[in-house]
Structure 1
Amino acid sequence: SPSTIDRTRRRKEAQAQRDAEEFRKWRAAYVMEQRFADARAEQRAREAEKVDEAEAQVRAQLAREIADEEEMEAQEARRRLDATDRQHTAQLARAAAEAEARAQAQAAQQQHVRTREEERA
């Protein structure tokens, strides 16, 4: 009968509307959950980036400290080398002066001997 067909059609339309509304709610919840998941992933990426930056800063600071320490050690080694070099130079100068003094003394003695021999002759 037409009224039964009408009721069945209205019941199916009402069910279709409820199903459509249920799907819209589910879709909205799904989209919202996806947005939350994306936001959480972005937040984790930002936090990881901050950690990476902090680690890079710590590594850079450590590298600078090591370079400074190595430079100080190199300067100290140069100072020690310069001091040793000055000491050796002074020793060589003393040895040369002593050798020159001995040579002059020997020459003076030889001259004295020659002068005495000439006086005797």
Structure 2
Amino acid sequence: MLLFGANFISNIGEEVAMVLFGIGFANLLFQKNLIKKIIGLNIMDSSVYLFLAEKGYIEGRLAPIVVNGIQYVNTYINPIPSGLVLTGIVVSVSVTALMLSLTVRLYRRYHTLDLDEISARLKKEGL
């Protein structure tokens, strides 16, 4: 008896992306360390990019660069998912840099990366 059907095997990239998203989301929710939360967010970002790349790829089609004068739509893949992935990567690098810089500032002030401890100290300070 076959445990998984043919659709499972043909959609393995999308399924891996969903599992990675779940891992990143769980990491973001359950970790107390700020660096680990940033890593979880980056795992979630990467899973979305993998999902978009998998949905944008069509077996047997070429990159959307006109070669030898072939201009039929059915010859090339859709370039929009690739553009979205590229734009998302640029944005996620910027967001990661901002989060890491804020984490460094928090560490310099409170000498810890534990979010619960930082929250407790903020309550003591009255902020």
User: Normalising to structure 1: TM-score of the pair?
Assistant: 0.29
Larger Rg: 1
Greater fraction of residues in helix: 1
Structure with bigger RCO (C-alpha 8 Å, 6+ apart): 2
